[in-house]
Every structure is written in C-alpha cells, then in structure tokens.
Amino acid sequence: MVRPQYLAAQVGRLINDDAAVSIDTGAHTIFTARHWQIRPQQQMAVSGNLANMGSGLPYAIAAQLAFPARQCIAMVGDGGFTMLMGEMVTAVRYKLPVKIIIFKNNALSQDVYEQIELGNELYGGDLTPIDFVKIAEACGAEGYRCTKKGEVVPILKKALATARPAVVEVMVDPDQAPSSPDHILQNKF
C-alpha cells in the first residue's frame, strides 16, 4: 500500500507548471492540501464551504473545457469519485484528457477518523471495493493501478503522458490519519 502523503507529493512533483488540479472532498483533500507544493501558474479548485463529495471529476472536466491546452488533474477519493463516476463517459465523449488520481482505501476515511475522534462507534464508513480500472476501461478511458510505493512514479508518468482520459487507482494506507497540523505526529484526526 502507498502512503497518501507520498502520493499527493509525487503527483505535485510530476504535473506541469500550469496544471489545473481539482480536489474532491475527503481525507485526500487534506493530504493534497498539505503535500502538494503549488506553483505560481498552477490553479486549484475545491468545494470549499459546501464540501460536497463528487465534484472533483466534474471540476476537472470543466477545467479541461476551459483550458484545452493545459493538464487537468483531479485528486479524488474512492467514495467521492463513485458518486459521479458516470461522468467519465463525458470526458471520453468530448475527448477531454483529464487525469483522475483515486486515493483508494475502500472507506469514507475522513468520516471514520471523525467518528474515532468523537469516540463514537464506527458506523457506515466501509465501502464495497470497486475495480476503478475496469470502470475506466468500460467508459473508454485508460485505467491504471498502483499497489506499491515503487509503482507510483512510473505509473503516474505513464498516465500523465497519454492523450486520453485516464484513471489511476492507487491503494492507499487507510491507517494514515488526515491530521490537522497539531496532530500530525500522533497520526490522529
């Protein structure tokens, strides 16, 4: 499994200087915010105040329509991506080469960590695993999978180089807490 912090940092290093990065809502929002070193010509969009899940992919499609020549990335969790994953067909239909990076932990991880922090009984946080590579291919996009740290960079490079829409499913460690700055060392929310 890959640490989500490492994934966010590597995506940040490999993307273009003028990439548009759309971030969905979930634990990966926090990892991306903390470990992607944004460059001056790059742009970012996130559902800030409403914090709705599912917006990462449509944001990336919108960015690619607005900036046809730029690299448009979406950083999404498996939970959020699932909510609007039918939109992959929109990207394929309009030949929009968006790159979707899925932080996959088969969980609504941020909610799980919130429940732990509150001392609640864990409820409803587990997801039925979905094969996103097959989903991508079924929609006519390219699908890639990473399960080990060593695969992250070569597969990201491959996916970023293609002229077609692509989904990269990365198995991330669910035991990494999306910590606030004062809790990073304790690995808790």
Partner 1 sequence: MACGCAKYTGKLGVCIATSGPGAVHLMNGFYDAYKDHVSVLAITGAPFHDLKGTDYTQEIDTLSLMQDASVYNQEITGPQQAKTVVDLACRAALGSLGSFLQKY
Least distance CB 76 / partner 1 (angstroms): 13
Read off the amino acid at residue 9: A
| Other Cβ atoms closer than 10 A to 13 | 11
Q: Print the binding letters for residues 41-80 with partner 1: x by CB under 8 A, - otherwise.
A: x-x-x-xxxx-x-xx--xxxxxx-xxx-------------
| Close Cβ partners of 154 (under 8 Å, ≥ 6 residues apart) | none
Nearer to partner 1, 70 or 164 (CB): 70
Least distance CB 122 / partner 1 (angstroms): 26
46 CB burial (10 A radius; 0-12, 13-18, 19+): middle
Least distance CB 22 / partner 1 (angstroms): 7
Least distance CB 96 / partner 1 (angstroms): 11
Q: Is residue 91 a contact residue for partner 1 (CB under 8 A)? A: no
Q: Which two tokens stand for residue 58?
A: 């449509």
Nearer to partner 1, 60 or 88 (CB): 60
| Close Cβ partners of 161 (under 8 Å, ≥ 6 residues apart) | none
Q: Are 161 and 86 in contact (CB under 8 A)?
A: no
> What sign has the CA pseudo-torsion 105, 149, 100, 52?
positive
Least distance CB 44 / partner 1 (angstroms): 9
Nearer to partner 1, 3 or 70 (CB): 70
Q: Is residue 109 a contact residue for partner 1 (CB under 8 A)? A: no
Q: What is the rounded distance in angstroms from the CA atom of residue 40 to the CA atom of residue 50?
A: 26
Least distance CB 41 / partner 1 (angstroms): 6
Q: What is the rounded distance in angstroms from the CA atom of residue 13 to the CA atom of residue 9?
A: 6
User: Using CB under 8 A as the criterion, which residues of the chain lie in contact with partner 1 when the complex forms?
Assistant: 20, 22, 40-41, 43, 45, 47-50, 52, 54-55, 58-63, 65-67
